[in-house]
Amino acid sequence: MSAWWNRWGPLAGALGVVCFIVAIVMYGNGPHDNDREIVDYFAKSSNQTKYIVAFYFFFAAFLLMLVFLSSLRAVLVEAEGAPGRLTALAYAGGVASAVLLLAANAFFAAPAITARDSKKFVLDPNTYRFINDTGYVFFVTGVMAAVLMVAGTSLVALRTGVFPRWFAWIGFLVAVTLVVAFFFVPVFILWGWILVTSAYMLLSARQAPRPLTRAP
């Protein structure tokens, strides 16, 4: 089981990014900023269903990211050794990021779920604007929290060589871009970092030599 986890656990990061992208595409831009269009948009069953499906893709991405973070933590702590302070920092940043993004997902889906739950519900446009913007604030904060994950991983890589030096220096640049996540584009940079990290961990695990077994 341990060998399977070490070999395929990193793949969860790539799968998580795919689920994130599917969810974002399904959420789309939502209704235009017009009171009538907002009300009509969430009154449609097809839009309600689309948001609920996006919610589940986002939740799947959250679970997959936790699996990825567990694999990343194992790699970092093995390289850094006890007490593994930088590893703990990177892992805590990743978990905080995932939880904040999950909170954003709840806000994004809330109008559609409430509209599906009760036929008497009529969405107030200003309430929608508040909920949607609150979700975006959580989303931005979640991306920014990943600074600790990326920077912590880069520091461990520089000190131990567990990842290439070029990966470590690029990680610092990625961490800087995440600070301005309110521009939205940095989330794609974060996803790219996760994909590269997952691929490198997966290839390293597959190329690792098998331990010698003693003859009976």
pLDDT per residue as tens digits for the range 149-164: 999 999 999 998 888 9
161 backbone φψ class: left, alpha, beta (φ>0; ψ -120 to 50): left
Q: Is 188 within the bounds of a domain?
A: yes
Retrieve residue 71's tokens.
Answer: 């694999």
> Does the pLDDT of residue 93 top 90, yes or no?
yes
Q: Could you tell me if residue 50 is inside a domain?
A: yes
Domain residues for the domain of 42 are 10-206
Q: Is residue 126 within a helix (H) or strand (E), and if so which, with residue range? A: helix 125-160
- DSSP state at residue 181: G
Rounded Cα gap, residues 151 and 163, in angstroms: 13
- 1 assigned to some structural domain: no
Query: In this structure, is residue 88 part of a structural domain?
Result: yes
Work out the average pLDDT over 144-153: 95
> How many Å apart are CA 1 and CA 6, to the nearest integer?
9
Residue 138 belongs to some domain of the structure? yes
How far is residue 140's CA from residue 184's CA, in Å, rounded to a whole number?
A: 7
Residue that wins the pLDDT comparison between 189 and 32: 189
Residue 44 C-beta-side C-alpha neighbours within 13 Å: 11
Position 206 scores a pLDDT of 53
Contact 186, 178 (CB under 8 A): yes
Overall number of domains in the chain: 1
Per-residue confidence band for 32, with pLDDT thresholds at 50, 70 and 90: confident
Higher pLDDT, 10 or 56: 56
Q: What percent of the chain has pLDDT over 90?
A: 58
How many Cα atoms sit within 13 Å of 15 on the Cβ side?
A: 16
Q: How many Å apart are CA 5 and CA 129, to the nearest integer? A: 43
- pLDDT at residue 216 in the model: 39
Q: Report if residue 214 sits inside a domain.
A: no
Q: Is 67 among the domain residues? A: yes
Output the pTM of the full model. 0.86
More confident residue, 180 or 208: 180
Domain assignment present for 215: no
pLDDT recorded at residue 204: 77
